[in-house]
Structure 1
C-alpha cells in the first residue's frame, strides 16, 4: 500500500499540473499572497447547505481496538456509506472486516458502487490520505448477493489482510441494498471464520470520543448564494466542518440507542458549487485550520474535466502552520461550471477553508 500510494501521488502531481496549466511562478505568487493575508479576517461567502443521500455508518470507536469483537453494527436499507477507521491495539495480529448479515426471508442484493481502502500501516496520516484518494478515483460496480438467513463479506480482501499491533485500516464504501441488511465491522483472530466468530462476538464499548453511529444525510450539497466576483470580492473563504457555519452530523449509536455526534463529519461527502463571473478568472486553495491534514479532493470543471488533487500534492501532510499552509486546487476560467468534491480524511484534523482569490494572469 505504501508503494502504491507514493506512485499514485506522483502521478497526481503530473496530472494536476498539466490539466490546469500551472506554472511554478503562478503557484508561488498565489501562495505568497495568501501567506501575507490574515485568513481569519477574509469575507465568508454566503452558502446554502443541503443534506442529501442515504445513511452514513461511522465506525471509529473504539479507534484503538483493545480486544477482538464488534466495533459497530446496524441494520439498514437503501443507499449507505460505511466509513471505518480502526487500529489493532492488541499485542496479537488480527483482521478487521465488514460482514453483511441478512436476517430476512429473502435474498438481499447489495450493489457496491464506490470504495476506498488503505492499510494496514503504522503511518496513520498516510493511510487516511491513501484511502481518500482511492475512494475519489476508483468507481467500480459489484453485485453481492446475501442469502436469506446468511452472511457474506462486503470486501473479501479484508479477510486475508493481517493487521499487526498498532496498525491502522481505513475503509470507505458506498453501496445500496434492496432488503434490510445488518452491516457489522469487527476485529477477529487471523484464522477465525467471520460467521462463526460473529455468533459469539460481543460489542466493544465505545471510547471517550464516541465516534460511531448511524447518521441521516451522508452527502452535503453546498451552493454559493451568489456568483463570485474576483474584482469586487477579492479573496474570500468557505468554511467546512467547523460545527459553527457547517454543523456536525447528529445521529444514533445503534449498539445502545444513545445520541452521538460525528465530530469532524468523517465520511460525509461534500459537493461544493462555485459560480463565478464569466469575464474574470479565479484560483482556488485549501487551507487546513485544525492541524495536520492529509487528503485529496476532486475538481470538476465545465461538467467533464475532472481532476483528483492530493492535498497537499508535494508532501504527505500540511497544516502544522495554518497561517502559511495552502494547497493549490487549480486556476479556472470564470463563468464556467466548477464543482469541488471533498470529504474529511481519516486521521486528519478539521476544519478547513476553501479560499477563492482573483487570478488576473490565467
Structure 2
C-alpha cells in the first residue's frame, strides 16, 4: 500500500507539472507550438556519411547574356543542380553538355531529370522542385557511402566523440551500444529534468504540503521505474537494429534507375536532359532543375544559358564563360547526398527537443572548388583542390583531384538530406518544422515504422513560413516512440536556412 500511495502521489505531481506547460502537451497536439509555454533542449546531429558529386550552377544567379554558367568534373555518380533567372528580353533555355576527358570510352547512365516550370515567383519554383525531388526518387549506381569529410568538425561542434563508424548500420549499432551499456547521460538528464520540475512545482510550497513518503516505498518505486525504462530501452534498440537490417536488405534488391545510357568516345561530347530544349525561359523568370547520372570515367559537365533556338551542342562550342556573381556559390562539391544522425537517442520521457540542420556548425556547409575561375576571389579564403570528384566506386580518396577557387555552398542547396533520429520512451511525440533563417517553402518526407508521408511547407494559401520570425511552426504528425524517425529533404531554392525540427512529447 505504501508503494501504491507513492505512485499516486507522484502521479498527481506529474499531472500538475504537465498542465503547467513545462513541455508535455495534454490532448491532441496543437497545429503550432507555443514558445511561451514550451522550452526545448537542443540535441545536435552529427554528419556521418556522404557520397556523390554535386555540380552547383547558381552564380551568376541573374543572367544578362548567354554563356557558360557553371562547369565541373564528375567521375562516378553526380548531380547537376541549376538555379537561374533570365534577365534578357528574348526567351532563353538551359543546356547541359558532357564531354569525355579520358582516353577511353565512357558510359553515361541517366538516372533522373526533374525541374520546376519557370516562374517569376521564386518561392513557387523552389517549393515545386523540392516536392518534385521527393516525388521522383531514383536508385543510383553508387550504393557505397563514405565517411563524411567534415565528420570530425561536425562531432566537435556537437560536443560528442568523433564517430568511428563507416556505415549507417554501424552508426546505429554504436548508438544502440551506448543506449544499453551507458545510462549516465540519460540518468543525468532525468535527474536534471526532475530537479527543475520539482523546483518549479514547489514555488507555492506544494511539495511541503505532501506527506513524507516511506523510504522503502520510494526505493521500490525507483527500482520499478528503472526496470520499466530499461525494458523500453531494450525494446527500442531491438527495433532500431531490425529497421536498419530490413532497410539494407531492401536497398540491396533495388536495381538502378536507368532513363538512358550514352557511350562517349574519347573527347566526345553530348547534350543531355533533352526536355530543356522545349522549355523557354521568359525574361525575369526563375528556372531550376536537377540532373542525376553516373559516368564510368571522368566527364566535364557544362551548364549554359543559350538563346532558345540555339542547339545545345553547337552553342557549347562558342559560349563564353560567365563570371561568378558576388555570392560565389557555383562549383564542384563533395557530397550530393549526406546523412545526419542523432548520436544520443531522443527520449520522449525527458521533454521537448529541437534538432537543427544547415547551420554550418554540427551540420557544416559542403565545400568544393569552382573549376572555371582558378584565380578569382571566393566566398572562402584561398584557392584549393578537391579529391571530392567521386570515382566510379564512390571512393573519394582514390579519385583524381580537381583544382580551382575554393567555394562553400552556403545553404547546402542541391544536397539530399537523410536525417536519422533514434527514439525511445513511453510517450508519443509530435513532430514540427520551425524555420529559423527566414522565409521557407519546401517539402519533407518523414518515414516512421515503415510508413512514409510527404509534407508540404507551408499548407493552405500561405506562400512561405518563417518570414520575419523564428517562431513559425507547422505540425507534421504524432508518433509512438521507440522506432527510427527518418526525415528526407533537399533545401528548397529561394528559401532561407537554418531550419529545425521540434519533437514534443504528448501526455
TM-score above 0.5: yes
Matched, 1:204 2:350: no
Contact 1:101/1:146 (CA < 8 Å) preserved in 2? no
2:448 aligned partner: 301
Deviation at residue 333 of structure 1 after TM alignment: 1.4
Matched, 1:352 2:504: no
Question: Where do 1:155-174 residues align within 5 Å?
Answer: 155-174=273-292
Contact 2:96/2:272 (CA < 8 Å) preserved in 1? yes
SS state of the match for residue 210, structure 1?
Answer: coil
1:139 aligned partner: 137
SS state of the match for residue 159, structure 1?
Answer: helix
How many residues in Structure 1 have an aligned counterpart in Structure 2?
Answer: 330
After TM superposition, the structure 1 stretch with the greater mean CA deviation from structure 2, 240-249 or 163-172, is 240-249
Q: Distance in 1 between matches of 2:79 and 2:498?
A: 21
**Structure 1 residues 50, 136: CA separation in 2 closer, same or farther (over 3 Å shift)?**
same
Matched, 1:36 2:36: yes
**RMSD (Å) for aligned C-alpha atoms:** 1.9
Show CA shifts across 1:93-143 (max 9, x none). Answer: 111122222244544322233443112111111001101111111135312
1:310 aligned partner: 456
1:255 aligned partner: 372
SS state of the match for residue 247, structure 1?
Answer: coil
**Structure 1 residues 174, 292: CA separation in 2 closer, same or farther (over 3 Å shift)?**
same
Deviation at residue 81 of structure 1 after TM alignment: 1.9
**Structure 1 residues 144, 327: CA separation in 2 closer, same or farther (over 3 Å shift)?**
farther
Contact 2:108/2:264 (CA < 8 Å) preserved in 1? no
1:222 aligned partner: 340
Q: Which residue, out of 111, 122, 125, partners 1:124?
A: 122
1:283 aligned partner: 430
SS state of the match for residue 134, structure 2?
Answer: helix
Q: TM-score, normalised by structure 1?
A: 0.86
After TM superposition, the structure 1 stretch with the greater mean CA deviation from structure 2, 289-298 or 219-228, is 219-228
Q: TM-score, normalised by structure 2?
A: 0.62
Question: Where do 1:179-198 residues align within 5 Å?
Answer: 179-198=297-316
Q: List alignment gaps of at least 5 residues for structure 1.
A: 1-24
Q: Distance in 1 between matches of 2:292 and 2:458?
A: 25
SS state of the match for residue 90, structure 1?
Answer: coil
Q: Distance in 1 between matches of 2:498 and 2:37?
A: 18
Q: List alignment gaps of at least 5 residues for structure 2.
A: 1-26, 139-256, 374-403
**Structure 1 residues 113, 164: CA separation in 2 closer, same or farther (over 3 Å shift)?**
same
2:163 aligned partner: none
After TM superposition, the structure 1 stretch with the greater mean CA deviation from structure 2, 240-249 or 124-133, is 240-249
2:394 aligned partner: none
SS state of the match for residue 495, structure 2?
Answer: coil
1:62 aligned partner: 60
Contact 2:349/2:426 (CA < 8 Å) preserved in 1? no
Contact 2:44/2:362 (CA < 8 Å) preserved in 1? no
Q: Distance in 1 between matches of 2:434 and 2:321?
A: 38
SS state of the match for residue 125, structure 1?
Answer: helix
Deviation at residue 359 of structure 1 after TM alignment: 2.3
Question: Where do 1:35-114 residues align within 5 Å?
Answer: 35-36=35-36, 42-114=40-112
Q: Distance in 1 between matches of 2:99 and 2:44?
A: 44
Deviation at residue 307 of structure 1 after TM alignment: 1.3
Q: Distance in 2 between matches of 1:139 and 1:128?
A: 17
Q: Which has the higher contact order (CA 8 A, sep 6+)?
A: 2
Contact 1:102/1:146 (CA < 8 Å) preserved in 2? no
Contact 2:45/2:363 (CA < 8 Å) preserved in 1? no
Show CA shifts across 1:231-282 (max 9, x none). Answer: 21x1111111122332212210011211111111111222111111153211
Q: Distance in 1 between matches of 2:345 and 2:47?
A: 16
Whose Rg is larger?
2
Q: Distance in 1 between matches of 2:428 and 2:93?
A: 50
Show CA shifts across 1:280-331 (max 9, x none). Answer: 21111111111111111111112x3121111123233111143431122221
Q: Distance in 2 between matches of 1:172 and 1:278?
A: 40
Show CA shifts across 1:122-166 (max 9, x none). Answer: 111100110111111113531230431333332111011111111
Moved beyond 6 Å, runs of 4+: none
Matched, 1:243 2:360: yes
1:26 aligned partner: 28
